[in-house]
Amino acid sequence: MTLHAGIVGLPNVGKSTLFNAITQAGAEAANYPFCTIDPNVGMVEVPDSRLKKLAEMVHPKKIVSATVEFVDIAGLVRGASKGEGLGNKFLSHIREVDAIVHVVRCFEDENVIHVEGNVNPKRDIETIDLELVLADMESVEKRADRSSKLLKTGDKKTQSEVALLERLKEVFNQGKGARFLTYTDEERAILKGFSLLTLKPVLYVANVSENGLSTAADNPYVQQVMAIAAEEGAEAVVVCAQIEAEIAELEEDEKQGFLQDLGLEESGLDHLIRVAFHLLGLMTFFTAGPIEVKAWTIHQSTKAPQAAGVIHTDFEHGFIRAEVVAYNDFVANNGLNGAKDKGLVRLEGKEYIMRDGDIVHFRFNV
């Protein structure tokens, strides 16, 4: 399972520079609107120090990290929902991702054009949010027209759908997205067929200048972004895309020295990637052996058989039980044998709910 995150924002806010830093994929970054037309796609590993520790203990031939796929989507402009700029193409690309990474410009630079003429994070966020709401409103109204015609049949599912569509139209009329509503399990099942843009979780990225990291807390633009994120219950991080692009080109030992000089424990991108990974309620379990140590991605509350199915469908179909040890117990007792001697290795059945950091050996029969 790989999380697909779409990097969005107005033109010239630093999306492609951030994408280059994340993936080192060399996407073109230039100072003019619509530099990115077709989306660039790059895969990046999720930073996890536990993998390195497990590898030191197990000595595998290969180490495999969990991954996030980032998609650098064309810059949006006012009127995109009506086809302005590259609006229709932009919106179709957003529909395909799991989460939105919304990059917001939080720095002044007269040499970098702003499509609205000046820097104003609140307005910029509202511009994109409104276009997403308008696009969702159009699709919901079309669906509501079709569903209303079916009401005469008395079908309960149709009645539930029409009621949900009315709730959505009401919140859209307030200028808010679908994620601001709460839903029943039945409504969530119906929503899966809607592909709503405003239902996707959002991570705000406040992009500051090269000398703006140390003063980010006092930056009024950053404060605007953080306030909006807090109001929405969304996540927000501060990065300098330009510095992160420079860090990404360094060797690992040079990178650590550079971060120390900046007074940072980790790069902004490492933090961003982790937050993006957890944005959808994902977590990691491990398999560890002489062939490979690997991080596997699952949703929180996943049961053991379904986790086994992430490795191979045969594992889920023929699941017998899971041999499980917590990461901390594995490390504290010098590996699997030491954990077994202490009685810390458990045999779990089909109802076991996986925990983040579980090290697992699945027993199955095909």
CA atoms within 13 Å, Cβ hemisphere of 319: 24
Q: Specify binding-site residues for ATP.
A: 12-17
358/153 Cα distance (integer angstroms): 50
The radius of gyration of the chain's CA atoms, rounded to the nearest angstrom, is: 23
Strands 292-299 and 319-325: unpaired
Q: Which residues are annotated as a binding site?
A: 12-17
Closest Cα partner for 176 from 215, 221, 137, 118?
Answer: 137
